[in-house]
Structure 1
Amino acid sequence: MTGLHALALEPFHAEQGAKFAPFAGYKMPIQYPLGVKGEHAHTREAVGLFDVSHMGQISIEGPGSTEALEKLVPAALQEMVPGQIRYSQLTLENGGILDDLMVTRWDNDSWGLVVNGACKHADMAHLKGNLPDSIQLTYFSAHALVAVQGPEARAALARLMPEAAELTFMRAVQTNWNSHPVTLACCGYTGEDGYEISIANDCARDLAEALTELGESTWVGLGARNSLRLETGLCLYGNDLTKETSPIEADLLWSIQKRRRADGDFLGADIILKQINEGAPRKRVGVAPFDGRTPLRDHTILKNSAGDLIGEITSGGFGPTHNGPVAMGYVPQNMSMLGTELIAEVRGKALPCSVCDPIFVQQRYVRSL
């Protein structure tokens, strides 16, 4: 695995018995001795720890930054309050998605962004090319990002960071831990209650060791991170979202607040608003095989009853909590109704399937206390 970026915590993960593989240009932990299914189950039942330091952590600051950033994402930023997080997308003129991201408001003209690791350099070039020169963009390349996820994450993390107990879903705070500055955000990619902690690389090992010592926790690799997000209907950029996929096709209308649906004024708005009003040509849906056993893998072809090609699976596999196949993909709008019968082509054979909700395991975010 030459030519890959190393995580600051790579030696620590090796000590925990991690197996590594390339991902987004980094040498990433894929699994630990507990194994993918064990890590998945532990996160659903207690606390999973994830090193997601490959993600891009960016700040945008300066007079007018709110209005300028709003021209690049369809989320309503002006209404947000300090400490509030919103999920959004960097859209393109064709209505497609350059990347999806989390946006946090810290002050009137101070913003924090977390973007996908494989896209972060393209994202920064896009931001620099579209934001006024007066606005400062800072990339925190020397910061780690650790996710703490699961039903016991709140109580466990509050022993280290008392602020965790009071944070609800999609809220963040800048604070200190053991005299180290940290950003603590209540969000994640597992469908569970949990947090993401940003900390400088030179302090990251202290944090990792403290989290490891929590009795409820275990380290989790990218293998289980994928099955956890897939079970709860969360998109993966590059699979379920691309430069050719609009937020409406991806069933992400909920992430575009009412003012932006009316006013537009962001890249790709003409196409996206037309799709809101007139419908998109296709839609992201869940797909379940009738036999309840056969996994539908990425790129599985989907056909209608006449045998015509109509779409494909973009993410699929086995869901340990669901205890069965979980998959999502795109089909024409007129075939996106729940219960619509489809045919998946699996190893050259026709497998009857139906459209279902892409959320196979209910999300358990803590939205209020």
Structure 2
Amino acid sequence: MVTVTSSKQTPLYDLHLQLGAKMTTFAGYQMPVQYKSGIIHEHLHCRSQAGFFDISHMGQCRVSGEHAAEALEKLTPGGIVDLKPGAQKYTVLSNAEGGVIDDIIVTRNASGLSLIVNAGCKDKDFAYLRSQLPADCLFEALSDLALFALQGPGAAAVMAKFAAEAGRLKFMQACAADIAGSVCHISRSGYSGEDGFEISLPQADAERIARLLLAEDGVEPIGLGARDTLRLEAGLCLYGHELNETITPIEAGLQWIFKKGHRDFPGAEKILAQRQNGAERVRVGLLVDGRIPVREGCAIVHQDKQIGYVTSGSFSPSLSRPVAMALLDRRFAEPGAGLTALVRNSAIPVTVTSLPFVPHRYLRR
């Protein structure tokens, strides 16, 4: 007999249905893929106005204690102890072989270090953190919280209306703020390449606050489909694609996350050797000739020899053409190099290009 495990729902499940969402199971949750206007409309709306994303499936947790930062730093390429209150850092949990257990966001706040981890990894992440952190660190899974993202050039004006202090944040800064009576933790960050915010709040307030934000002029709901095309255009890694337990942070192009002189973390010997000497394979962008998308898993060849594979690929609404990211032999990874992608029985010309495909618009100053 086969046991059927029902998927979970976020606090906004009923609201998604009311908004006409097409739902799918993702990382064990019922999530909106798209709404009535479709993925291309949602994508372009986020690029031009403001998109609202339900990302409550992501994992949220807290690590606290006098030595919490030092302990977490030993599990990552570093920079955690240097975080000032209200600052965030993107980093990874590395394994002993130099691969990536998960990529995470760490924020220092008054209660310790808050972490956001990927939905599909949160069970293994939480188990790993519990097993690796010392006894004087308190680990708490924050399962009673929801998480939203508000992204796009119109996001700042909307956020400033509800929480003036959040509107004054710069990229990768965070604060606590009251939104219509709900205590929220807000960061100026996101996964679209646009200026925007992520809002952590109690599940009990989730639908009420979501309706307030969605009622604002220029704000529309965005599903997982457009979230993926937005992050692809922005050249951002997706765990399970550009990152996994066999791909190192150097191969994934994350050289910038490392703290100078930090050598005490899992897989450091391999990772730091690659950082110094270069990795044999590297993540690149690909511009695709024609209209046929080049999807994940497609082989990339040069003179009939496979030199890499596609990690993510889709149609780019902003560029009106297919694009992809790939892991390639570094000898063939120079921008401008002409290669071939094998899509079923077709040989599709592709050109190596620098990332991102669409410039980031984060508010850094």
With normalisation by structure 1, the TM-score equals 0.96
Tell me which amino acid in the other structure corresponds to 1:125: A
- Cα deviation, 1:266-289, whole Å, max 9, x if unaligned, reads 111111111111111100001122
AA of the residue aligned to 1:297: R
One-letter amino acid of the structure 1 residue matched with residue 232 of structure 2: L
Structure 1 counterpart SS, 2:107: strand
Q: Deviations over 1:118-141 (max 9, x none)?
A: 000100111111100221111111
Question: 1:229 aligns to what?
Answer: 231
Partner residue of 1:364? 361
Q: Say which of 252, 255, 263 aligns to 1:253.
A: 255
The Cα shift of 1:354 comes to: 1.9
Considering only aligned residues, what root-mean-square deviation do their CA atoms show, in Å?
A: 1.2
SS at match of 1:203: helix
Q: Aligned partner of 2:268: which letter?
A: A
In 1, the alpha carbon distance for the partners of 2:292 and 2:286 equals: 12
- Partners of 2:160 and 2:217 lie apart in 1 by 13
The one-character-per-residue Cα deviations of 1:142-177 (angstroms, maximum 9, x if unpaired) are 111010000010011211111222011000001222
Q: What pairs up with 1:163-182 in 2 under 5 angstroms?
A: 163-182=165-184
Q: Confirm or deny that 1:149 pairs with 2:151.
A: yes
Q: Which runs of 5+ in 2 are unaligned?
A: none
* Residue range with higher mean Cα deviation, 152-161 or 49-58: 152-161
Gaps of 5+ in 1: none
Aligned to 1:210: 212
Tell whether 2:52 aligns with 1:52.
no
Where do residues 90-101 of structure 1 align in structure 2 (5 Å cutoff)? 90-101=93-104
Count of aligned residue pairs for this structure pair: 362
Kindly report structure 1 stretches of 4+ aligned residues shifted beyond 2 Å. Answer: 291-294
1:89 lines up with 2:79 in the alignment = no
Q: Aligned partners of 1:355, 1:177: CA distance in 2, in Å?
A: 45
Q: Secondary structure at the match of 2:102?
A: strand
> Shift of residue 2 of structure 1?
5.8
C-alpha offsets along residues 41-99 of structure 1, whole Å, 9 cap, x if unaligned? 11000000000000001110012111110011113112221000110000000000000
Which amino acid in 2 is paired with 1:64?
A: H
Q: Give me the whole-angstrom Cα distance separating, in 2, the residues matched to 1:119 and 1:43.
A: 27
Q: Is the 8 A contact 1:94 1:268 kept in 2?
A: yes
Instruction: Answer whether contact 1:75 1:86 (CA < 8 A) is retained.
Output: no
Query: Whole-Å Cα distance in 2 between the matches of residues 304 and 285 of structure 1?
Result: 15
**Aligned residue in 2 for 1:347:** 344
Equivalence map 1:115-134=2 (5 Å): 115-134=117-136
Q: C-alpha separation between the residues in 2 aligned to 1:358 and 1:167?
A: 26
Residue pair 2:102, 2:239 contacting (<8 A) in 1 also: yes
The answer to whether 1:335 aligns with 2:332 is yes
Moved more, 348-357 or 278-287: 348-357
User: How far apart, CA to CA, are the structure 1 residues paired with 2:13 and 2:102?
Assistant: 26
Identity of aligned residues (%): 41
